Amino acid sequence: MAGYPFAFLMLIIHFSLSSQTSSTVNPCCYFPCQHKGVCVRYEADRYECDCTRTGYYGTNCTIPELWSRVRDLIRPSPGFYHYILTRYKWFWDIINNTFIRDIIVRLVLTVRSNLIPSPPTYNSAYDYISWESYSNVSYFTRVLPPIPDDCPTPMGTKGKKELPDASLLVETFLIRQKFIPDPQSTNLMFAFFAQHFTHQFFKTFGRMGRGFIKGFGHGVDLSHVYGDTLDRQHALRLFKDGKLKYQTINGDVYPPTVSEAPVHMIYPENIPKEKQLAVGQEVFGLLPGLMMYATIWLREHNRVCDVLKKEHPTWDDEQLFQTTRLILIGETIKIVIEDYVQHLSGYYLKLKFDPELLFGVQFQYRNRIAVEFNQLYHWHPLMPDTFNIQKEEYGYSSFVYNTTLLFDYGVEALVEAFSKQIAGKIGGGKNIHPRLSNVALGVIEESRKLRVQSFNEYRKRFGLKAYKSFQEFTGEETISAHLESLYGDIDALEFYPGLLLEKTLPKSMFGESMVEIGAPFSLKGLMGNPICSPEYWKPSTFGGETGFNIVKTASIQKLVCLNVKRCPYVAFHVPDAETKDVTSPELTTSDEL
């Protein structure tokens, strides 16, 4: 019933547009089509909304069909779901040990994944369905099309004629005045994992133009370990027993130097090649935390190769390499869902990586990385003011491109240090270190070039209610008043600033929108991986039961502890205050397989 007044209003707008003599405003600039309806422009002042399979009908897809009316009446809000899933631990402890857990996890996976269009729909060059948008994987895809380029304001018809100065936004609302620790006790081990993991598919290729992705990987392919081209992969491979090249220092394995594995790495000119480490991602020399993870995965690859070689003495180098890569992809997905996303969600429901949960439902095993996901995942507020390793404190100038920290301290010491140091809160604003402000500035400027739709339009697209005011959005008065003076209208608030400035959920690192928009992208990308399909998810894909078991029992703790001499404290959260022994438990012999 609530849709009728809106439909009536849009009809008035439509007829007023028809009566204009100039007919200068593209009617799709008003974003009239609701509930995923598609705006199709005909004449200069005439449009139609395609409401097919939206569950709504009418001029602007605002009148619910019977089933939609019932669903909307009984469906709890996302806030209610989050409240229930993050409270009543005693209840979820019971559920986690019953078959009901599988039912709920399956529901979470399907509902979230269905919010992401598959096959992909738009890209930055085409704001309508086209074969080029589908087939040209050089582009990031898009969930919502770009804002039409002939609209009266940058965000359509709402807001001011010019958007606020991007530098002013960053300086006023995003730069840190004082470090704000994350209320979920997230640590730097999590922060570096996020950065390391996402660099395999967030690879903007600016030289190609707007909205392009470097390489052809649109998901978890471990190109950050193996390289995104065959030439780079071959330069990193040992071509013996399936292994990657490595060097040994004081009895420990580390990535080879650029002299030993001639691949392009981004380092300052003053760092000689014999100190430049060669890995799959060219930017990982930037931070010791990234190179730490690169070292762990290198060790894991060569460790798994030894396991497979023992199981299959007749296999050649190529089969050992390719099968090991599939195992490591599986390990990555398992760790991301059951350790990383589990921590991120704050849920007491224990998430589960089990591809068989989706075998009985319609699901497409293909993924495309979206512009919106790339924009959303700029979580630089996680970074602290300084980095603490043992008793030393490192500022950015002594931490960035410091190639010796990994060797000086070793993997164990870095893992323990990063696991014990708390990260920053992402949402709520004013928590980006000044050294990283240029990253936030670049995201805002890129979003404007790509004409990304407003924050409220994305909330509606992902089943959330649009905010009616800046005060409702921030939950306070001062910042909201300043934002209103700059943007003029809540419907003109940009996507990325909206994600970072939204009021945060209780005891959470960010707001509702980051959770409800980010989770579908994440889960679809993970479960849409080919290894999760019925054709791939079987022991033979991973070299038999031993390789399959490596995937099915993976965890962040095992990943680290099976590849170091001393098992340190390792987790995605800082130790609890009451925890006396922060050393990870020793792994049993069966765990070492």
Return the H-helix or E-strand segment holding 123.
strand 122-123
* Distance from C-alpha of 98 to C-alpha of 79, rounded to nearest angstrom: 25
DSSP letters of 178-242? Answer: S--B-TT-BBHHHHHHHHHHHTTT--B-GGG-TTBBSSS--S---HHHH-SSHHHHHHHB--STT
The answer to whether the CB of 236 falls within 8 A of the CB of 245 is yes
Q: Where are the beta strands (DSSP E) in 358-482?
A: 387-389, 392-394
* Distance from C-alpha of 401 to C-alpha of 288, rounded to nearest angstrom: 7
Burial class (CB in 10 A: 0-12, 13-18, 19+), 246: buried
Which residues, in sequence order, are CB contacts of 142 under 8 Å at separation 6+? 121, 122, 123, 124, 211, 370, 371, 372
Using alpha carbons, list the distances in angstroms from residue 526 to 85, 325, 558. Answer: 21, 16, 20
- Other residues' Cβ atoms within 10 Å of the Cβ of residue 361: 11
Using alpha carbons, list the distances in angstroms from residue 253 to 29, 306, 410. Answer: 57, 14, 10
State the catalytic residue, choosing from 199, 301, 343, 378: 199
Q: Helix (H) and strand (E) counts for the chain?
A: 24, 10
Residues found in the chain = 593
The answer to whether the CB of 377 falls within 8 A of the CB of 200 is no
The answer to whether the CB of 143 falls within 8 A of the CB of 121 is yes
The answer to whether the CB of 393 falls within 8 A of the CB of 277 is no
| Residue 482 annotated among the catalytic residues of the structure | no
The SS3 assignment for 244 reads strand
State the catalytic residue, choosing from 377, 409, 467, 569: 377
Residue 305 DSSP label:
H
Using alpha carbons, list the distances in angstroms from residue 552 to 515, 532, 538, 555. Answer: 26, 12, 11, 9
* Distance from C-alpha of 255 to C-alpha of 235, rounded to nearest angstrom: 12
Q: Report the phi/psi class of residue 344: left, alpha or beta, with left for phi > 0 and alpha for psi in -120 to 50.
A: alpha
* Distance from C-alpha of 128 to C-alpha of 144, rounded to nearest angstrom: 10
CA 588 to chain CA mean position, Å: 33
* Distance from C-alpha of 318 to C-alpha of 280, rounded to nearest angstrom: 18
Give me the amino acid identity at 50: D
- Quote helix, strand, coil % in the chain, to nearest 5: 45, 10, 45
| Residue 377 annotated among the catalytic residues of the structure | yes
Using alpha carbons, list the distances in angstroms from residue 85 to 147, 339, 348. Answer: 36, 16, 6
Active-site amino acid positions: 199, 377
